[in-house]
């Protein structure tokens, strides 16, 4: 079963229909805390999302644009990154046919923490860290307590070559979290994202599909 956002869930409905706010400072996990307030506060918050870096693979002038919406805590997203995405990369992205953009979806704060680790190394390391996060999902996502999850994510950061100070700075960047959540909300609303993984192909939103279905859509556009 796909991970599905409830109706009207742009404001992170998994938390009970509310929205997130951030306390500046580490809690027991050692990461910036995320708590609930009324949805109206997040909807009216003045958050500049223009600073968020889009994570892109492929030629800028490729004839087809594909945007993936995925959550680091979604098992079907991990499966897609093990099976679907490598084939798309080999046959369409690396060959200049597709410009591919990855955008995070946040079902929970654990997913946000994973996103902070993935983005901590910058654009050059983002996709490599993303691969490590998905490959290790069974381990870190089921580590038990939130503190244990954070520790496992720190290990992934260190494996990617980041030092402890860099990792802690990323995990405790409350402004970055607020910006990323606002960015996710705006993206999800624009493209009608209701489940993960979802793919926007030249502006049209599609749910998860097999490689054969995906390639058929791409090939029809390339003809």
pLDDT digits (tens, 9 = 90+) for 125-148: 999 999 999 999 999 998 988 889
Residues 6 or more apart whose Cβ sits within 8 Å of residue 220: none
Mean pLDDT of 50-79: 97
Q: Is the dihedral of CA 155, 116, 130, 90 positive or negative?
A: negative
The residues that bridge with 55 in the sheet, in sequence order, are 102
Structure tokens at 214: 């995906």
Residues 6 or more apart whose Cβ sits within 8 Å of residue 53: 119, 123
| pLDDT for 50 beyond 80 | yes
pLDDT digits (tens, 9 = 90+) for 191-206: 999 899 999 999 999 9
Angle between the 109-120 and 123-135 helix axes, to the nearest 10 degrees? 140
Q: Which domains does the chain have, with CATH numbers?
A: 53-222 (3.40.30.10)
Mean pLDDT of 12-35: 44
pLDDT digits (tens, 9 = 90+) for 143-201: 988 889 999 999 999 999 999 999 999 999 988 988 998 899 899 999 999 899 999 99
Mean pLDDT, the chain, whole residue set: 84
The pTM (predicted TM-score) of the whole model is 0.84
Contact 127, 53 (CB under 8 A): no
Contact 132, 118 (CB under 8 A): no
């Amino acid at each position: 079963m796909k991970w599905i956002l409830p109706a009207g869930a742009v404001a992170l409905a998994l938390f009970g229909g509310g929205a997130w706010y951030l306390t500046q400072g580490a809690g027991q996990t050692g990461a910036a805390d995320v708590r609930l307030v009324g949805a109206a506060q997040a909807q009216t918050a003045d958050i500049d999302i223009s600073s968020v870096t889009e994570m892109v693979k492929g030629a800028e002038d490729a004839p087809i644009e594909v945007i993936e919406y995925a959550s680091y805590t979604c098992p079907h997203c991990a499966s897609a990154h093990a099976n679907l995405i490598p084939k798309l990369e080999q046959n369409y992205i690396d060959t200049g046919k597709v410009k591919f953009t990855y955008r995070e979806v946040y079902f929970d704060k654990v997913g946000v923490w994973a996103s902070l680790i993935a983005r901590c190394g910058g654009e050059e390391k983002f996709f490599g860290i993303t691969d490590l996060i998905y490959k290790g999902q069974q381990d870190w996502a089921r580590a038990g307590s939130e503190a244990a999850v954070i520790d496992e994510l720190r290990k992934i950061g260190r494996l990617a070559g980041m030092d402890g100070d860099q990792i802690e700075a990323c995990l405790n960047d409350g402004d970055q979290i607020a910006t990323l959540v606002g960015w996710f909300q705006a993206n999800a609303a624009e493209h009608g994202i209701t489940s993960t993984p979802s793919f926007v192909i030249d502006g049209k939103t599609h749910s998860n599909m097999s490689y054969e279905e995906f390639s058929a859509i791409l090939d029809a556009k390339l003809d």
